[in-house]
Amino acid sequence: MQSKIFKSYEKSIHFLNEAKELKTQLKHMDAIIALNKSLCYSVSDSQLSMAFAERAKIFYDLKKYKECQENLKWAKSHGNNNTELAHFETACINQLKSLDINENDKPWNFFKLSPPLNKKLPFISDCLKLHESFKYGRYIKTNRPLHTGEVIAIEEPLFKMPNKDVRYKRCSNCLKSNQMNLLPCSQQKCVSTMYCSIECMQLGWKRYHKYECSFLEESLENNEYDLMIQRIIFETLDMFDGNIEKLKTLLSETKDNQSIYDFDLSNKNDIENKKLRLKSIYALKRGKCSEEDKAMADWFVESDSTLKHLCKTKAQQDFLKNFILRMMGIMDRNSYIFYSLASVFSEKDEEIGTGLFSFASLLNHSCSPNLYRFFVDNKQIYVVKKPIEAGQQLFVGYLSNFTLCEREKRQADLFQDFSFHCTCDACVQNFPLMKDLKRCDENFKEELPTLSRYSISDAKKIYEYNCKYIETNINKFPFPCYEICFLMQSSFRLLHFIANKPFLPE
């Protein structure tokens, strides 16, 4: 696999000009994307410095003075001595002096795990206990009552991969958008890998990018699923410094009945933690593999030059093929899609990438789940949606909620994607759609938050009001009632907004 795609002087110039044009039309976000492409295709310091300088100007227009300063610095370090830039630099310093940057708006100041925490798994609350039954398989219950709005887990995936269409918008390593203030991979055959920081660039290179950089552009013609598999193989091999025997030994110690609850992740050693999480993922339930999957695993092991080099024997090749097949089956049943709000104006979701999670994979589905799940950067957060009694099971929604989609369609979709027949409350009692729900509160003021008008602190206030309303009225009105479901829908949008306020001109 050798790439025919290269960095190119002409293309870099083309995107630079495109960005200038978009800027005059006030399409700032599109202009930054064009500049990110220009950076990725640039072949010289002078091209890099021009693109950084242009990006600095756009950030200035958007009143993002810190980002502007950073780009000015990069433009300079690549040789730009334009006196015009000095003017922007002074202006930034003055603006930043007068600007009151609101640290409270940072999502991690808002989303805090509910104590006490699990001692071995410090990313979940201690009340979450693992159970097993014939009907549910492995599942999670709470051993104490939970209140609306409690954050009970914040989990980072072991493996993640950004989608193809966010490659100029998000860090390839950590998936953060960083206001699209990204740095390009400098390698000749790499034109769409960007990072939010030098640190991510180095980590990404070490963990997987050194294996994929020279042929990634060609691989990008594959589907998202194949790309994720490729990332999983490289990241796994890197945990063992490319030593297949070591990987084999670790996995041979893994038993199917193990889960993340069998391991102690309180130790801060990143690599040791990753190996334990790999074991817990390897023990997850998996779907069946098709002939096509087998052919893909064979092809990958036999044609990829890195893997050919790492596999010293036929036995090692066979082991790796089986490992890939098993991970495909695991992905099939357990992967989660990362979402974010695409923009404040459209209120549509944007798919950012795919992730594989040890803890999340133990949560069952309900079409009327009692947890919200959403993402901050690359971490999935689980928040209590309505009061949950001690001893009750926790559910997330894999696919559509009952308020938005008819039962027949929901069940067909779940069966197709996850091969199970849903027996949640909403399915058994056939809850009505949102529009047909019974109204119980004549004083209820219905206003779906129009997020474009909100500040983060407005959003938090409304969200807190919603939580209180749900908490006090859940037992007064028979569930599902219109008011509570309406506020749940509103809260979900607000949580997304607080978690990941879309980057837009302010």
Q: By rule CB under 5 A, what count of residues binds Zn ion?
A: 15
Which pair of tokens denotes residue 321?
């093929």
- CB 182 → Zn ion: shortest distance, Å? 8
Q: Which is nearer to Zn ion, 166 or 276 (CB)?
A: 166
The structure tokens 């030098």 sit at: 198
Q: Which is nearer to Zn ion, 181 or 193 (CB)?
A: 193
Q: Would you count residue 185 as binding Zn ion (CB under 5 A)?
A: yes
Identified binder of Zn ion from the candidate list 40, 124, 171, 325, rule CB under 5 A: 171
- CB 122 → Zn ion: shortest distance, Å? 22
Any idea of the CA torsion for 372, 375, 380, 384, to the nearest 10 degrees? -20
Which pair of tokens denotes residue 130?
């693992």
Identified binder of Zn ion from the candidate list 427, 467, 470, 481, rule CB under 5 A: 427
Identified binder of Zn ion from the candidate list 50, 92, 146, 424, rule CB under 5 A: 424
The residue type of 56 is A
Residue 116, preceding peptide bond in cis (omega within 30° of 0): yes
Q: Angle at Cα 163 formed by Cα 160 and Cα 168, nearest 5°?
A: 110
Per-position x/- string for 404-423, each x denoting binding to Zn ion as judged by CB under 5 A, each - no binding:
------------------x-
Per-position x/- string for 193-212, each x denoting binding to Zn ion as judged by CB under 5 A, each - no binding:
x--x---x------------
Neighbours of 244 (CB within 10 A): 20
Select the span of 184-192, 223-231, 266-274, 334-342 touching Zn ion (CB under 5 A). Answer: 184-192
Burial pattern 261-273, b for ≥16 Cβ within 10 A else e, equals bebebeeeeeeeb
- Choose among 271, 273, 272, 279: nearest CA to 250: 279
Interface with Zn ion in residues 349-408 (CB under 5 A): 367
Identified binder of Zn ion from the candidate list 72, 174, 180, 484, rule CB under 5 A: 174
Any idea of the CA torsion for 463, 466, 472, 478, to the nearest 10 degrees? -140
Which pair of tokens denotes residue 173?
């390593």
Q: Would you count residue 265 as binding Zn ion (CB under 5 A)?
A: no
- CB 377 → Zn ion: shortest distance, Å? 8
- CB 416 → Zn ion: shortest distance, Å? 14
Identified binder of Zn ion from the candidate list 3, 12, 148, 173, rule CB under 5 A: 173
Adjacent-strand bridge partners of 354: 161, 337
Per-position x/- string for 219-258, each x denoting binding to Zn ion as judged by CB under 5 A, each - no binding:
----------------------------------------
Identified binder of Zn ion from the candidate list 19, 75, 140, 190, rule CB under 5 A: 190
- CB 216 → Zn ion: shortest distance, Å? 7
Which pair of tokens denotes residue 275?
């190996």
Residue pair 260/121 in contact by the 8 Å Cβ criterion: yes
CA 161 from chain centre, in angstroms, equals 8
Distance, CA of 167 to CA of 212 (rounded, Å): 15
Identified binder of Zn ion from the candidate list 72, 213, 247, 352, rule CB under 5 A: 213
Residues near Zn ion, by CB under 5 A? 171, 173-174, 176, 185, 187, 190, 193, 196, 200, 213, 367, 422, 424, 427
